[in-house]
Amino acid sequence: MPFIQTTIPDLLVFEPQVHQDARGYFFESYNESVFQKAGIDIRWVQDNQSSSQYGVIRGLHFQAPPHAQTKLIRVLRGRILDVAIDIRKGSPAYGRSFSIELSAENKKQLLVPKGFLHGFAVLSEQAEVLYKCDELYNKPSELGISFADPALGIDWKIPSAQAIVSEKDKVLPVLSELDSPFVYTTNRS
C-alpha cells in the first residue's frame, strides 16, 4: 500500500509508485481507486497552487465546519517542510505536530484530514505547491493559530531573521486560545 500512517491518527503520507527510465519518470499523483482501496473515499472539488520563495512560512490554517477541508498536498518544484497539527478535541494527539519534507524529488504527499491545522515553510530557493481540497475555500470560515506558538515547538528549518510571513499570519492567536470546533472520533470504518 502506498499509504504510511504517521504518529498521529488519520494523518497519512502517500508515496506513489514512480516509474523511471532514460526518458524521465511517470507516476499517478492521484488515483481514486487506489485511495478507495485504502478506505479513503474523498471527492476533490478544488485544486490550489502556490509559488513561494525561500523563507516563506504559510500557516497555520484551517476552515471551520461546515466548510472544513481535507487536503492532499504535494510539491511540483522545490521543497518544503509541511506541518500538520491535530486540533480534534479528545484526540490522543491533540496539539501534537507532524512535519515532513515534501519535494519535487521525493514525490511524497501528505493527506491532511479535517480537524488539523496546516502550514508549510519553503526550504528551497523557490517552491510550487499543489493541494487538492474536498471543500471549496470559504473566507469567513478560515481560522488559524500562530506558526510561532512556543507551546508547539515547531522547528520550521528557517532562521527567524529570514522568515517571510504574511501580516495576517503574524497576528494569529496561540493554540491555547483556540476553542476547536473539531471532535476526535474513534468510530473508523
Backbone phi, psi, residue 92, to 5°: -65, -15
Question: Is the separation of the CB atoms in 97 and 120 below 8 Å?
Answer: no
DSSP 141: G
Query: Has 131 been annotated as catalytic?
Result: yes
Catalytic residue among 19, 131, 137, 184: 131
Question: Is the separation of the CB atoms in 146 and 156 below 8 Å?
Answer: no
| CA distances, 35 to each of 31, 48, 98, 178 (Å) | 7, 20, 21, 32
Which positions ≥6 away from 187 have C-beta within 8 Å? none
Catalytic residue among 19, 30, 61, 118: 61
State how far the Cα of 121 lies from the Cα of 83, in Å rounded to an integer. Answer: 8
Helix (H, G, I), strand (E, B) or coil at 146: coil
Residues involved in catalysis: 61, 131
